[in-house]
Amino acid sequence: MSDFLSRVAVNILESFSKIHRVAILVTSKRTERALRRALMDEAASPIISPAIFTIEQFMMDLSGLSTANTMDQLIVLYDSYKKIKNNNAESLEDFLKWSPTVLKDFDEIERFGVDIDKVYKDLKEIESISQWGLEEPTKLMTRRINLWKEIPELFKVFQKNMENERIGTPGHIFNSASPANTGPSLEKIKNWSKQNEIDNFVFVGFNALPQPELALFKKIEENYKTQTFWDVDEHYIHNPKAEAGKHLRDNIKQLPKAMTEDLVNPPASFLTSKIEFSVLKANGNIAIAKAIGEILDSPKLKTSNYNKCAVVLTDEKLLIPVLQAFPDEIFEANVTMGMALHSTNFYSSLDVLFQLQEAKEISGSYSSKLLESSFKNSICCYIYYGPSSSGQSLNMNAQIKALKDSQKIYWSVNETLDLLRKHSEFWGGFDNSNSFLKALEKKLISYSSNLFSTWEKEPVELCIKAIRRISGWNGSLTLKFHTLRQLFRQFAKESPINFIGEPFEGIQIMGLLETRNLDFETVIIAPCNEGVLPSQRGNSSFLTNDIRKAHKIFFPRDNEAITAYHTYRLIQRAKQVYFLVNNNSEGLHSSETSRFVQQMEFELSQYSGVSWKNHELELELNPSTLDQDREIINSSRVIQRTLKKLIEKGLSPSSGSTYIRNPYKFYLTFILGIQEEKTIEDRLPANIRGNILHDLHQDLYTNYNSTLLWDFNKVKTSLEKSLLKYFPGSNISGHLLLEKKVIQKIANDWSQNEGRRIKRKKEKGEKWKVSFVEEFLESSLELSNGKIIKIRGKADRIEEWEKYWVIIDLKTGSFKKNDIQFNQWSDLLDRAKKKDKAFQLLMYTWLLSRQEKFESIKKFKAGISSMRHPTKAISYLNWDGKADLEHKDLVDFENFVLVPLIESILNPEIPFRDTLEL
């Protein structure tokens, strides 16, 4: 079976003797190149090529306008808005909240040739009706009505300003070239035909025709010899319920009979072809990419022609994973779809610089996460160091380490400058966005000059171009950095990075739109999920459904019908079709198979030449890559290292409890000194909250011991001092503000309750005082082999009561009373019983009892005080039903717990095993 463009080429060659005087209008640049190739292949002898134009290029020629990118449109629209509003214009920040939606609506209204005055008059009336009966409309309601009144004037000024710059939106270009009611003037078409030496027209491969295009088709057909070729199939043309044929059936009704021959008598490719369909379901994008690689590496495809194979990606995020999953044997592939600038690593790196300026503008400080991102990316490293003379890659690892070691969540600008010391211009902040853009442009030009590959240079050059455009406009007003970043992000979304390749050699990697009018023997489409194919319906329009219906503007379902047509058309002459479905529900995407695929399975299975298979795919795991049981054999060398550490540094309550929970972690952390990489969370970590509250506890009780007064005023000053370490900057917002409020609430509640406790004790005349706060305790322990081990720890608070000395351990997190209750000494060493908090309390108490002046003390107590729940009484350690601890109890703790624990650590028969999963 010949492909569509080959059939078109044969017909054109047979129908026109002077083919060089034929204008062929096609749907895309890719179709243009493919049709030229088909004409060359089908021509019996050398010919002068016909003039082939995309419909967009033809409309631009007729209108005399070129297409403006979204950023240019926004800039012109804001200038137009200021002109009609004079001194009452909103700020650019507020304008950008609604203007992208208005621009999209403008384009749709013009694309369908609708009178904009009527549209917004109807919108205003709908809004007025919705407010009918209300005593007083809200400000928002009034604002919307006023906006609908002003928009027609804004539209006219906007279009005039755009035309003055010889640019337009796609919709305006089409409507200007071919007005919906009349089509282009005959004089305009004749002038164009004369200029391009055209006598005849051919239309190839169109589908949905909005009014301006419909008027163009009719006008040309009335005045020129015309041929029209439709790439269709009987299956969806003659079935009135098939959404793929919706717009084609409309064309039969609206176009002259001579232009619809292919539509009335379409070919029946699905009926006569032999097609193998496979639906493959995989979990996640990586699995889909690997599945595509395996399909391409399969014997069936290796024996076929890769030039006739297309990988069609409905989600651009799959592009890089798919390229990386290609088999090594595939040397040629052509990427037609391009990749949006905002998806590149370069844009992500550059955006960090915008975020730095935005953060300084909003709060006067930087989050540690943002600083870490800036220190890690290549652009910032280049800005900091300049070009590398040695050719080695530069890094800011020293700054990253200092950042993590500090454990600060936020850094002030001055603290950041002290950390960097030199070349810190982009971290110190700029006075205004103009100076920032000039400095950034200069750095990017220098950066680009040190790049060698086109792939690396192109995104840099695109960004330099955007910076120059914004700078030229920014001179008339000062943009806030937040607004500047919005504009730049909008530009990045609309700017593709184009790949260089050969469209007729190797596997073709494409988006669905790029496949128009092209035929392939093997088609792989991924992912085929509802919400992706077709894309999820958005709400980014002010045009309501009743407005769309009244003015014949497409509904979302009409756009979905276009997608359905492209999908059915792509596979109608294929031999092998693979639909890959993402079985994972990631983000807002559904794991449901696209309804197009489900419809095809139901509809196409009726044809004798169609076979259909469904498969579930799983990524195979290599057992050798899975974590194995980890342990460190207690060799003589290991024992010597451990013993030396215990003698010199000692064993603390926290390190002892770590050994009980996980010996492997104990050895790595406390013996080898290997710490987990420090991370700084976006949300306040529990340990930092604990540090702040412990600092408050120490300040208040230290002051109390010296003055015997509980000073509530100290709470505020102490908190401010501690909070400033972790929350620099004056403008804290969001979850960090909530964290700060939580800490302040805990601190105030705790200090008030402690004040009341102290007052009650004084009123009762109890003998009580706080003797030590954050007291360092140390003692030695002799093992059975005569070795002396150091035991040390720091107690939060030590109180002297009439009959007891009491150790209080503060907790800012949660705990259960059962955590500090046990019946036998062996319970403390049983990791399954999780008595590490009880072990720590006993170890602190043992250390206190070993101090010289406490040897005569008869009784001790140890308990946990919850700062989060200050009204709850202190929970005391309970051993076999009693809370008192005497010296003999602590001697038993030493003999039955502490000594066996240390001897276990030094036992060559007991390895340091990882018990994390036990």
pLDDT digits (tens, 9 = 90+) for 71-128: 889 999 999 999 998 888 888 888 888 999 999 999 999 999 999 999 999 988 888 8
Tell me 669's DSSP state: I
The pairing of strands 66-67 and 51-54 is unpaired
What beta strand segments (E) does 239-391 contain? 275-282, 309-313, 333-335, 339-340, 365-367
Alpha helix (H) residue ranges in 131-243: 139-164, 170-177, 186-196, 211-223, 234-237
pLDDT of residue 175: 95
pLDDT of residue 471: 84
Tokens of 727: 């929350």
Tokens of 774: 């954050």
Among candidate residues 521, 525, 368, 382, the one with its CA nearest the CA of residue 448: 382
How sure is the predictor about 599, in pLDDT bands with cuts at 50, 70 and 90? Answer: very high
* Cβ-based neighbours of 475, under 8 Å, separated by 6 or more: 434
Q: Is-contact 235 270, C-beta < 8 A? A: yes
Q: What is the mean pLDDT of residues 178-204?
A: 95
pLDDT of residue 387: 78
The pairing of strands 769-782 and 788-800 is antiparallel
* pLDDT, tens only, 799-823: 998 888 999 999 887 788 899 999 9
Alpha carbons 630 and 653: distance in angstroms, whole number: 24
| DSSP helix/strand/coil, 127 | helix
Q: CATH number of 270-338+501-616: 3.30.420.40, 1.10.3720.10, 2.120.10.80, 3.40.50.300?
A: 3.40.50.300
What percent of the chain shows pLDDT beyond 70?
A: 93
Q: What is the mean pLDDT of residues 762-771?
A: 84
| DSSP helix/strand/coil, 660 | helix
- The better pLDDT of the pair 777, 328 is held by 777
Alpha carbons 374 and 350: distance in angstroms, whole number: 9
Report the alpha-carbon angle 51-56-57, nearest 5.
Answer: 40
pLDDT of residue 389: 57
Tell me the pTM: 0.75
Among candidate residues 822, 821, 795, 840, the one with its CA nearest the CA of residue 658: 840
Among candidate residues 399, 371, 356, 385, the one with its CA nearest the CA of residue 447: 385
The answer to whether the peptide bond before residue 527 is cis (omega within 30 degrees of 0) is: yes
- Taking the mean position of all CA atoms in its chain, how far away is CA 738? 24
How sure is the predictor about 589, in pLDDT bands with cuts at 50, 70 and 90? Answer: low
Tokens of 293: 């690689």
What are the beta bridge partners of residue 866?
811
Alpha carbons 628 and 650: distance in angstroms, whole number: 31
pLDDT of residue 896: 94
What are the beta bridge partners of residue 229?
204
Q: Could you tell me the fold of the domain covering 4-65+175-229?
A: Rossmann fold (3.40.50)
How sure is the predictor about 670, in pLDDT bands with cuts at 50, 70 and 90? Answer: confident
- The better pLDDT of the pair 184, 302 is held by 184
pLDDT of residue 669: 85
* pLDDT, tens only, 438-465: 999 999 999 998 887 777 888 999 899 8
- φ, ψ at 578 (rounded to 5°): -120, 120
For the purposes of burial, counting CB atoms within 10 Å of the CB of 592, is it exposed (0-12), middle (13-18) or buried (19 or more)? middle
How sure is the predictor about 918, in pLDDT bands with cuts at 50, 70 and 90? Answer: very low
Buried b (16+ CB within 10 A) or exposed e, 365-401: bbbbebbbbbbbbebbbbbbeeeeeeeeeeebeebbe
What beta strand segments (E) does 763-873 contain? 769-782, 788-800, 805-811, 821-822, 859-866
Q: What is the mean pLDDT of residues 236-257?
A: 95
Q: What is the mean pLDDT of residues 402-413?
A: 84
Q: What is the mean pLDDT of residues 635-656?
A: 87
Among candidate residues 596, 624, 615, the one with its CA nearest the CA of residue 529: 596
- Taking the mean position of all CA atoms in its chain, how far away is CA 56? 33
Angle at which helices 139-164 and 70-85 pack, to 10 degrees? 110
CB atoms within 10 A of CB 607: 17
Q: Could you tell me the fold of the domain covering 632-676+768-918?
A: Lambda Exonuclease; Chain A (3.90.320)
Q: What is the mean pLDDT of residues 13-21?
A: 94
pLDDT of residue 625: 46
Looking at residue 30, its amino acid is R
Which one of 280-294, 295-309, 420-434, 499-513 scores highest in mean pLDDT? 280-294
pLDDT of residue 39: 95
Q: Is-contact 12 202, C-beta < 8 A? A: yes
pLDDT of residue 711: 85
Give the alpha-carbon dihedral of 11, 13, 19, 24, to 10 degrees: 30
pLDDT greater than 90 at residue 139: no
pLDDT of residue 626: 46
pLDDT of residue 678: 59
CA–CA distance from 912 to each of 22, 419, 553, 641 (Å)? 84, 39, 72, 13
Q: Is-contact 313 509, C-beta < 8 A? A: yes
* pLDDT, tens only, 349-398: 899 999 999 999 888 888 888 999 999 888 888 888 887 655 566 788 88
Q: Is-contact 768 800, C-beta < 8 A? A: yes
Among candidate residues 84, 34, 85, 24, the one with its CA nearest the CA of residue 54: 24
How sure is the predictor about 469, in pLDDT bands with cuts at 50, 70 and 90? Answer: confident
Alpha carbons 489 and 71: distance in angstroms, whole number: 9
The pairing of strands 885-886 and 859-866 is antiparallel
* pLDDT, tens only, 553-570: 999 999 999 999 999 999
pLDDT of residue 645: 85
Looking at residue 690, its amino acid is G
When computed from its CA atoms, the radius of gyration of the chain, rounded to whole angstroms, is: 38
Domain boundaries, the chain: 4-65+175-229, 70-168, 270-338+501-616, 358-497, 632-676+768-918, 709-766
How sure is the predictor about 873, in pLDDT bands with cuts at 50, 70 and 90? Answer: confident
Token pair 């020293």: residue: 398
pLDDT of residue 668: 85
Residues, the chain, total? 918
Mean pLDDT of the chain: 88
Q: What is the mean pLDDT of residues 768-784?
A: 89
How sure is the predictor about 917, in pLDDT bands with cuts at 50, 70 and 90? Answer: very low
pLDDT of residue 477: 67
pLDDT of residue 642: 85
CATH topology of 270-338+501-616 equal to that of 632-676+768-918?
Answer: no
- The better pLDDT of the pair 60, 641 is held by 60
Q: What is the mean pLDDT of residues 710-724?
A: 83
pLDDT of residue 739: 81
The answer to whether the peptide bond before residue 534 is cis (omega within 30 degrees of 0) is: yes
Give the DSSP H or E segment for 150: helix 139-164
Q: Is-contact 712 704, C-beta < 8 A? A: no
Tell me 651's DSSP state: B
- The better pLDDT of the pair 106, 742 is held by 106
Q: What is the mean pLDDT of residues 282-287?
A: 90
* Cβ-based neighbours of 122, under 8 Å, separated by 6 or more: 547, 550, 551
pLDDT of residue 223: 95
pLDDT of residue 680: 60
Alpha carbons 700 and 715: distance in angstroms, whole number: 7
CB atoms within 10 A of CB 815: 14
Tokens of 155: 């539209």
